[in-house]
Amino acid sequence: MCGIAGFCDYHDDLSEEALFWRALAKRMGAKLNHRGPDDSGVHVSAHAALAHTRLAVVDIEGGKQPMTAVADGFRYTIVYNGELYNTEELRSELKALGHTFETKSDTEVLLKCYIEFGFTCAEKLNGIFAFAVDDERRGCCYLCRDRFGVKPLFYSIENGRLVFASEIKALFEYPGINPVIDRQGLCEIFGIGPARTAGVGVFKNILEIKPGCIAVFDRQGFETYPYFKLKSYEHPDSYEDSVKRVRYLVEDAVTRQLVSDVPLCTFLSGGLDSSIITALAARNYQAAGKTLSTYSFDFTGNDKYFKPTAFQPGADKPWVAKMAELFQTDHHYLECDNVTLADKLYDAVEAKDLPGMADVDSSLLYFCSLIKKNHVVGISGECADEIFGGYPWFHKKEAFEGHCFPWSPDLSIRTGLLIPEIADALHIAEYVNMRYEESIAAVPVLEGESAQEKRRREISFLNINWFMSTLLDRKDRSSMASGLEVRVPYADHRIVQYVFNTPWEYKCHDGVVKGLLRDAAREWLPEDILMRKKSPYPKTHNPAYEMLVKQRLTEVLSNGEEPLHKLISQTAAAELLSEKSDYGKPWFGQLMAGPQMMAYLLQINYWLKKYDIAIEL
């Protein structure tokens, strides 16, 4: 994985001041060095300046960027962040069409694919990617993002010039792009957050290429188009054939994503999703005479303080130990203490350029930094719950009867913290409802579906396009902050599209949550691991962490100079600090409860101060 940045102007000639524009592009790229610590480069042409920082994973010597190719007398230059998993199929197809290759890199394959197929090239790609092409023949800059937004790509239009980057921090290097938030941004933070509406960058005038979209910038302006949308159709297969198809797709996705010229590992929680990936990867490694490395995460004191809940019914460690022994992996138990967890809250903000999932982010950020000491690539089990219906809200009556995002049914926990005048000006409930209705309107309809099946399709669509995107965004920023590439096999578009149309009675066959995936994995896992109940990403149960966060938030609230005072009611904040430790139901997902709300406020305060954000209402 890598970092990309750049700017384009098809009315002025950048080559006339090439040194100035090169230096600016280099500064933008430097803000992304953590994403690509192995190499960097800058390209300047008459109408575009492109910067790249490289994390070398495949073809270490041959894959340097920016990469330029000439076809029919025209130059094409690419900067690319991601990984293709159908590289060799594409290479063979392109060779048959007359193309030659000088490297083994997927970058060259992607560039030649663009040269051959133009704006439709994205439809041929299997992978995770965000890239830009300076196209001399068409006189345009072409931007593209993978189908589910695994890789980020932000942009802004400044004085008629397109400016883009993998992360928002690089955009702020460009003159005239400043950290400002208005009503929309505050509604995102206090109503949608820690999720984010697709295409919205939270900061004023900063947007993001939506997942599954391309964009073209030329003399006529900027336009964006979808190349991928989930489709609804009648599922053609029997249950037995569906099991076989899912088994093939999952195994194929994992096998494709094991390709690497650098050390690779898997994340292992002992749950169904990560255990499937580890089992398939370990089998592949053993066949090649290698030992797979695996990692699990936990927190200091959890052995003592862990309490089973409906959301986290059991500890991971016994299941991890069984998997590691069964598949003979080189397993590493990673642990995070309370002070590190709290300190990393601020690093997580800088990694994301936004407040996020509090200690759920900061812990992953820390764990990824430890993994990077020994490995460059990791494979993770994200996305299976969104696709196969694993979350509690897929199975609760409230989600079927409600008209809201099912992982965030109660906005009052957040909006009640705001100064009343701010809350009245924002109209957060109306904003969130608007985003919800927009999403429901985008659900592809299947004629003849029952009301219940229609609602299940809506919930699946919302999870894939919102909750899954949130976790993928978190995974990218938390891992790439340390230059660790994390791959997500369940996000293979073939799996997502196929299972999206699989009947609910298949997904939960015989009343078993994720029964389809469990039956597909029967030949890979023992019965007890196969049937283990879902347990989410771990969080600390140590009361010392809660006390530490309370103390830090109290210090912020006692200092009238802190920017949080512009937004948060002192009375409401005092009530939050005095609450008992259970804090009721989570206010976002399964893990974000009272301690995470306090940590989220700490992140918001740090974000406002660190980025010197101006608020416009």
* 518 lies in the same domain as 588: no
End-to-end CA distance of the chain: give it in Å, rounded. Answer: 38
Strand-pairing partners, residue 181, are 615
User: Are 269 and 414 in the same domain?
Assistant: yes
Which residue in 293, 279, 277, 466 sits closest to 380, CA to CA? 277
Q: Name the DSSP class of 490.
A: G
Identity at 287, one-letter amino acid code: A
255 and 197 together in one domain: no
Closest to 384 measured CA to CA, from 271, 307, 282, 479 = 271
Count other C-beta atoms under 10 Å from residue 27's C-beta: 15
| The pLDDT of residue 580 | 61
Q: Which CATH number does the domain housing residue 350 bear?
A: 3.40.50.620
Cβ-proximal residues to 28 (8 Å cutoff; 6+ apart), any chain: 5, 6, 51, 165, 170, 171, 173, 174
Catalytic pick among 2, 144, 187, 213: 2
Find out whether 68 and 76 touch, Cβ atoms under 8 Å: yes
- In terms of Cα–Cα distance, which of 591, 588, 605 is closest to 552? 605
Q: Is residue 208 part of a domain?
A: yes
Asked if the structure places residue 234 within a domain, the reply is: no
Query: What are the φ/ψ torsions at residue 319 (nearest 5 degrees)?
Result: -75, -35
- Residue 430 located in a structural domain: yes
* Whether residue 527 sits in one domain with residue 472: yes
102 and 180, same domain (yes or no): yes
pLDDT of residue 585: 74
Closest CA to 597 of 256, 193, 319, 291: 193
Half-sphere exposure of 175 (CA within 13 A, CB side): 5
Instruction: Determine the pLDDT at residue 512.
Output: 96
Structural element, H or E, at residue 377: strand 377-379
- Identify the CA nearest to 408 among candidates 616, 129, 597, 152: 597
The DSSP symbol for 340 reads H
Is 299 exposed, middle or buried, given 0-12, 13-18 or 19+ CB atoms closer than 10 A? buried
At 541 the pLDDT is: 82
Regarding whether 486 and 424 lie in a shared domain, the answer is yes
Residue 116: CB atoms within 10 A of its CB come to 17
Residue written as token pair 């409930």:
429
Same domain? 297 vs 207: no
Domain assignment of residue 53, yes or no: yes
Dihedral over alpha carbons 147, 153, 157, 162 (to 10 degrees): -100
Which residue, among 511, 538, 387, 539, has the nearest Cα to 461 in the 3D structure?
Answer: 387
For residue 591, the enclosing domain spans: 543-612
What are the distances in angstroms from CA 517 to CA 178, 335, 384, 514?
A: 46, 30, 9, 5
Number of domains in the chain: 3
Amino acid 302: pLDDT: 85
Tell me: do 187 and 138 sit in the same domain.
Answer: yes
Sheet of strand 48-54: strand arrangement: 39-44, 48-54, 2-8, 161-165, 154-158, 207-208
Tokens of 78: 């690419």
**CA–CA–CA angle 28, 32, 33 (5° rounding):** 115
End-of-domain residue from the set 531, 565, 589: 531
The burial class, CB within 10 Å (0-12 / 13-18 / 19+), for 397 is exposed
- The pair phi, psi for residue 568, each rounded to 5°, is -100, 135
The parts of the chain modelled with pLDDT lower than 70 are 1, 59, 310-311, 579-584
Question: Do residue 353 and residue 285 come from a single domain?
Answer: yes
Task: Give the domain-ending residue among 200, 226, 252.
Answer: 226
Q: Residue 396: its pLDDT value, please?
A: 87
Between strands 293-299 and 330-336, the pairing is parallel
End-of-domain residue from the set 226, 247, 269 = 226
* 508 belongs to the catalytic site: no
**Rg of the Cα trace of the chain?**
24
Structural domain contains residue 232: no
Is residue 538 assigned to a domain? no
Can you tell me which residue has the tokens 């283990």?
Answer: 532
DSSP 63: -
Regarding whether 134 and 55 lie in a shared domain, the answer is yes
Distances (CA, A) of 391 to 469, 499, 584, 594: 15, 15, 19, 20
- Examine residue 455 and state whether it is found in any structural domain, yes or no: yes
Sign of dihedral through CA atoms 271, 272, 277, 283? positive
Residue 11: the pLDDT is 93
Q: Are strands 207-208 and 154-158 parallel, antiparallel or unpaired?
A: antiparallel
* CATH number for position 219: 3.60.20.10
Please indicate, yes or no, if residue 582 is contained in any of the structural domains: yes
Residue closest to 130 by CA, chosen among 115, 142, 146, 114: 146
Q: What is residue 118's predicted lDDT score, i.e. its pLDDT?
A: 97
Residues 476 and 453 in one domain: yes
Do 280 and 164 share a structural domain?
Answer: no
The total of other beta-carbon atoms located within 10 Å of residue 139's CB is: 14
Q: Report the b/e string of 211-228 with b at 16+ CB within 10 A.
A: bbbbbbbbeeebebeebb
